[in-house]
């Protein structure tokens, strides 16, 4: 067996143990006492790991390297796990700065290890260049940086969160690239490790996204959101955030694009269906592409079809009676308006009647209902809706003049117009 083969064999044995470390740590159950933090090792103590007396082969030196990893770096990581679990469970109000110190100290130790200590191994190509070794260390470094991000987040230090988040993302990306080289696709271990790394990426990116959203920094909201979608294309929260963010920024085309992606991930999402149908029918440009209005009507019809399911579900149970009523009116009004745009006037009239059943004293709805009746050539329906809008004192004074002209054309004079308005008004439910 060559020295290189022996070295690589020892590395792989060490990696097998390291691969199980993360899963084992997840089952740690800390005792009621606070853990004793490891004493920082001096440079001489660290060097002792790699200058083993009578170490005649590269394998002996590599065993010393493995001792260093297990005894120092893993020890630090176990303390991070303990601190964070205890803090989450309320059993230890441990200062986040202590967690940060532990993580940064471990990162420094790893950097020192990578840049100087591996040169003790008798391997001309440099064992530090082996993907197996680099993956083990880079992946652990990513976990340390992620812990620093979490701790600065708890401290409310946004600038430090952003600084260490980028370092974590760089380590995570490198770890993922390395693991794609050394891992075995299709195996449970491979899938679990990739999921762990991508989960870390999503945590860090979502942290940055939340910070940008709170600061109203839409440029970074969009940038971080797109980076999240590279990792998780179906992330409903991010798609919704981007849809709303672009809508707030006035970019309806982008809002529609992300909304359509959101519906692919969650086809029955009532809020998305409502948002898309509304912005497509009300805020779309004049030169709408072919099928634009029809798509808006389809979204609105799907929202209307989901309404009863929503109202019978747990989310609607949290609404007040007034909120439920307003929601019914909004869904049907949106469908009515979208149907008018596609000249589906009978559908528009039916939807607007349902909206008026929920909010019968809305003068604007009666005006919209009159438009639907006009399109359907329903003269009586149009006059009735206009009269009720006038009765409810619609702010558009032109409505009374329009109603008067139609009434006079039908009846030969304007006599009785006021009485007609009064009779229609009396038909409005309280």
Query: Domain limits of the chain?
Result: 1-183, 360-430
- For all residues of the chain together, what is the average pLDDT? 76
For 345-378, how does the pLDDT look when each residue is reduced to its tens digit (9 = 90+)?
999 999 999 999 999 999 999 999 999 999 999 9
Give 190's pLDDT tier (boundaries 50, 70, 90).
Answer: confident
Q: How confident is the model at residue 138, as a pLDDT? A: 83
Nearest C-alpha neighbor of 371 from the set 321, 336, 398, 322: 336
Q: How confident is the model at residue 408, as a pLDDT? A: 92
Q: Tell me what percent of the residues of the chain surpass a pLDDT of 70.
A: 69
Helices (H) and strands (E) in the chain, counts: 19, 0
Distance CA 65, CA 55 (A): 12
Q: How confident is the model at residue 22, as a pLDDT? A: 35
**pTM given for the model:** 0.60
Q: Which DSSP category does 318 fall into?
A: G
Q: Are 328 and 307 in contact (CB under 8 A)?
A: yes
Residue 155's contacts (CB-CB under 8 Å, 6 or more residues apart) are 96, 97
For 19-37, how does the pLDDT look when each residue is reduced to its tens digit (9 = 90+)?
333 333 333 233 334 443 4
Higher pLDDT pick, 330 / 92? 330
User: Is pLDDT above 50 for 208?
Assistant: yes
Nearest C-alpha neighbor of 270 from the set 244, 312, 300: 300
Higher pLDDT pick, 420 / 247? 420
Mean pLDDT of 272-287: 77
Q: What residue has token string 């604007």?
A: 364
For the chain, the maximum distance between any two Cα atoms, rounded to a whole number of angstroms, is 119
Give 147's pLDDT tier (boundaries 50, 70, 90).
Answer: confident
Mean pLDDT of 266-274: 89
User: Is pLDDT above 70 for 51?
Assistant: no
Q: Are 303 and 273 in contact (CB under 8 A)?
A: yes
User: Is pLDDT above 50 for 209?
Assistant: yes
Tokens standing for 291? 């099928």
- Measured from the Cβ of residue 326, the count of other Cβ atoms closer than 10 Å reads 14
Residue 344's contacts (CB-CB under 8 Å, 6 or more residues apart) are 297
Higher pLDDT pick, 154 / 91? 154
Q: How confident is the model at residue 165, as a pLDDT? A: 92
Q: What residue has token string 């139609």?
A: 406
Q: How confident is the model at residue 345, as a pLDDT? A: 95
Higher pLDDT pick, 71 / 400? 400
Q: How confident is the model at residue 5, as a pLDDT? A: 34
Higher pLDDT pick, 102 / 380? 380
Distance CA 22, CA 73 (A): 13
Mean pLDDT of 297-316: 88
């Amino acid at each position: 067996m060559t020295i290189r083969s022996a070295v690589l064999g020892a590395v792989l044995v060490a990696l097998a143990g390291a691969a199980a470390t993360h899963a084992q740590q997840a089952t740690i159950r800390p005792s009621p006492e606070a853990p004793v933090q490891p004493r920082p090792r001096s440079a001489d103590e660290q060097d002792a790991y790699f200058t083993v007396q009578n170490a005649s082969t590269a394998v002996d030196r590599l065993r010393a390297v493995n001792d260093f990893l297990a005894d120092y770096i893993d020890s630090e990581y176990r303390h991070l796990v303990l601190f964070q679990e205890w803090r989450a469970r309320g059993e230890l109000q441990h200062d986040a700065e202590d967690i940060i110190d532990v993580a940064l100290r471990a990162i420094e130790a790893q950097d020192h290890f990578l840049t100087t200590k591996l040169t003790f191994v008798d391997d001309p190509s440099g064992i530090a260049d082996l993907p197996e070794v680099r993956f083990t260390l880079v992946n652990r470094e990513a976990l340390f940086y992620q812990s620093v991000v979490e701790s600065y987040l708890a401290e409310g230090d946004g600038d430090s969160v952003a600084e260490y988040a980028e370092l974590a993302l760089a380590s995570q990306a490198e770890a993922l690239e390395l693991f794609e080289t050394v891992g075995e696709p299709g195996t449970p271990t491979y899938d679990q490790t990739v999921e762990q790394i991508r989960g870390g990426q999503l945590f860090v990116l979502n942290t940055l996204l939340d910070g940008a959203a709170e600061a109203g920094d839409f440029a970074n909201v969009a940038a971080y959101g797109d980076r999240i979608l590279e990792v998780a294309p179906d992330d409903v929260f991010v798609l919704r955030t981007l849809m709303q963010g672009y809508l707030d920024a006035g970019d309806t085309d982008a809002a529609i694009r992300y909304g359509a992606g959101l519906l692919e991930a969650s086809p029955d999402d009532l809020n998305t269906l409502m948002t898309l149908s509304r912005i497509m029918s009300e805020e779309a440009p004049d030169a709408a592409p072919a099928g634009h209005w029809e798509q808006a009507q389809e979204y609105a019809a799907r929202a209307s079809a989901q309404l009863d399911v929503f109202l019978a579900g747990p989310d609607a149970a949290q609404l007040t009676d007034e909120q439920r009523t307003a929601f019914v009116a909004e869904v049907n009004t949106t469908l009515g308006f979208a149907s008018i745009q596609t000249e589906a006037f009978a559908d528009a009239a039916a939807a607007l009647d349902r909206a008026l059943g929920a909010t019968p004293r809305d003068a604007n709805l009666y005006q919209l209902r009159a438009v639907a009746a006009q399109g359907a050539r329903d003269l009586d329906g149009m006059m009735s809706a206009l009269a009720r809008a006038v009765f409810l004192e619609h702010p558009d004074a032109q409505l009374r003049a329009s109603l008067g002209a139609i009434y006079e054309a039908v009846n030969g004079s304007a006599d009785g117009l006021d009485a007609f308005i009064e009779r229609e008004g009396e038909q409005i439910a309280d």
